Amino acid sequence: MHHAVVDLLPGERVLWEGRPARHRLFRPADALLIPFSIMWCGFAVFWEASVLTAGGGTGPSLFLALWGIPFILIGLYMAGGRFVVRAITSRRTRYVITDRRVLVIGGLSNKGTTSAYLSSLPPPVITVGPDGSGSLTFGAFSGIWDAFNRKNRWRAWASEPTSTPVLWHIPEVRRVRDIIANSQAENRPSAD
């Protein structure tokens, strides 16, 4: 297997490397986020249209006209732009599991790297499709309401809904889970 250029720690070794097999754009939190995004965007457009047509011949207030533009841009991003960002980041993402860490490489700029030590993460959990591919995270997958909790704040509209690493739609997800679980067991401090 050809390994991507990864900044490994001294003595660290790569156990698995892969990319998403599919690029699913919709996630559970989107069930609530899409209606909210459409309402936000609709209100922002209504506001801007009202300001631009108001004034009774004196023209719209420049301040109010400019005030609405950022809200329209935010609404457009929330309603559709975030799915474009999610598609781009998904296609650029690759995952690396070492004997010590999980790394998510890629992102919008294709240069970002997020890593977490396996010893600090809860056990891996997976979802598995009929073809054996699936997604993997640690502890539990984010639910619909998790996107709105205080810890995650505005991550609901980000390309990743949580700061916990998630390996989306990888082939042979059970094998990857076992690699991680074995590595976590080997690196667990012994109780002396």
Kindly list the domain boundaries of the chain, sorted by start residue.
14-23+93-187, 30-86
Can you give the pTM of this predicted structure?
Answer: 0.69
Q: Which two tokens stand for residue 175?
A: 């094998």
Given the structure tokens 């949580």, which residue do they identify?
Answer: 162
Say whether 14 sits in a helix, a strand or coil: strand
- Cα separation, 76 vs 80, whole angstroms: 6
- Cα separation, 19 vs 90, whole angstroms: 9
CB 164 within 8 A of CB 121: yes
Nearest to 102 by CA among 136, 74, 127, 71: 136
pLDDT of residue 113: 80
- The correct answer on CATH 2.30.29 for the domain covering 14-23+93-187 is yes
CB 70 within 8 A of CB 157: no
CB 160 within 8 A of CB 108: no
Which helix (H) or strand (E) is 97 found in, with range? Answer: strand 94-98
pLDDT of residue 3: 46
DSSP label at residue 60: -
Question: Does residue 103 have a pLDDT over 50?
Answer: yes
Give the pLDDT band of residue 55 (cuts 50, 70, 90).
Answer: low
pLDDT of residue 1: 45
Better-scored residue on pLDDT, 106 or 76: 76
CB 92 within 8 A of CB 84: no
Non-local (6+) Cβ contacts of 74 within 8 A are: 40, 44
pLDDT of residue 110: 64
